[in-house]
Copies of this chain bind each other. A is one copy, B any other.
Amino acid sequence: MAEQKATNVTWHKGLVSRDDRCKILCQSGVTIWFTGLSASGKSTVAVALEEALFERGKLSYRLDSDNVRLGINKDLGFSKEDRKENIRRVGEIAKLFGDAGTISLSSFISPYKSDRDEVRRSHETENIKFVEVFVDCPLSVAEKRDPKGLYKKARAGEIKNFTGIDDPYETPVDPEVHLRTDESTVEEEVTAIMEYLEINKIIEARHLIRADDGNDSAAVGV
């Protein structure tokens, strides 16, 4: 964890609360955190989910590994320490969006369990919902897809610290949603996440088909 450097700072409470903001939006703030290998399909399903949420009139915002690394985290590389700081900062930004009442969709490889767990813990502390979506896909399949040619470069030694090649990916133990993108369509994956959000009353159900079956997790293709 980053050390708290600035002292003499206190939380400045406003007159407008998180609940007030959520009332304007008719939704709750939540962080949906996609984790998985490069080319596992994180951004693809996040983009599709964003569209599905938009069609329901929900305000969501994607925080994407590529996008964030071109902006706020442009000073960070891919060492273990920099990856940790990358995830820490994105987790903090996601919390701000959650506090603002927005559904944030964060797509980051986020290979280290301890980093993801720290983001989860930090959300729980501030009572902001955290939904971990494991975008699971065998390395062989991800490597075959390789849309940006990154695996090829990593195998050739042109990129160092590449997750799955010369850097580890630590599998989520108990994610809220588990997708297998080599065995399902994007539509099925979006449906699985939407059902999770509905069942857990994070967004209202459009069709109350399975609203009270006691499930609190979802899986597709597993």
Footprint of B on A, CB under 8 Å? Answer: 2-6, 8-12, 14-16, 20-21, 24-25, 43, 46-48, 50-51, 54, 57-67, 69-78, 82, 85, 88-89, 92-93, 95-97, 99-102, 148, 150, 153, 159
Contacts and interface: CB of A to CB of B under 8 A. Distances in A.
Given A51-B15, A59-B100, A76 B5 contact: yes
A64 B15 CA distance: 14
Question: Shortest 9 CB-CB distances between A and B: which pairs?
Answer: A72-B92, A2-B75, A61-B100, A5-B77, A9-B66, A6-B69, A16-B54, A71-B92, A15-B51
Given A3-B75, A6-B74, A100-B59, A54 B93 contact: no
- The number of times this chain is found in the oligomer is 2
A10 B159 CA distance: 16
B12 A54 contact: no
A59 B24 contact: yes
Contacts of A66: 9-12
B77 A6 contact: yes
